[in-house]
Structure 1
């Protein structure tokens, strides 16, 4: 499957979700990573007019969870985030941020991802670790 088709499929999961509300869009996928982008505007601001840490966390969990599900390539399994840690290093008022998930560990039942959130100029905004659990879909 071509990259454009993969991204179209990945983005189809966003309909009627928080991802759609936050305008998160998957923009790249490779051998061991997935990247999504999110616009920074008043929808995702906190009261001081900067990117809300919760919106950043939503981007991180979205891209990391999707990466687990995508690389599993199993219709019999589901993925759920069970722990997210995030350090916010720089603020952002407007523009776009990108979250890229890369695996630290992909085991049979748990996955650990590092997600870097950067802006258009590749400035590091936040760094995250996400642990996902892999479960049987029928349970």
Structure 2
């Protein structure tokens, strides 16, 4: 998959979450497909992200959701803001055992101080694996 088109000013953010050495998204194998505040899409392999029973680890699904929601909030807020997650929840609907899962994040609320995204994670057959909601606080750093 090629790199998605980035809005101006976000090259550093994309590099930090996608190519940064030691970053969780890199360790999980997350690859971005769409990179926009209104819709973010990324995929992640099941292999390497399993729990001991051989199923996709629920924490990996949540990490995918938090990555997408946090980046969406950053895209909404602008490159001069800091984003911190303040709430995340997830419902795991079914197991994924192989292939790749896809997370699609869409905004539920885009405000001046908070942004909330719903992230739906599906398997390669389009079946819902996980539904997550993440709320991020938008902070203006002091100069």
Instruction: State TM-score, norm by structure 2.
Output: 0.86
Cα deviation, residue 26, structure 1: 0.9
Partner residue in 1 for 2:42? 36
Change (3 A) 1:46 1:4: closer
Tell me if the contact between 1:11 and 1:26 (Cα under 8 Å) persists in the aligned partners: no
Q: TM-score, normalised by structure 1?
A: 0.88
User: What does 1:1-139 align with in structure 2 at a 5 Å threshold?
Assistant: 4-6=4-6, 9=11, 11-14=14-17, 15-16=20-21, 17-30=23-36, 32-41=38-47, 43-75=48-80, 77-138=81-142
In structure 1, what is the Cα distance between the partners aligned to 2:14 and 2:50? 23
Distance 1:31 1:111 in 2: 10
State the SS of the aligned residue for 1:60: helix
For structure 1, which runs of at least 5 residues remain unmatched after alignment? none
Which runs of 4 or more aligned residues in structure 1 lie more than 6 Å from their structure 2 counterparts after TM superposition?
A: none
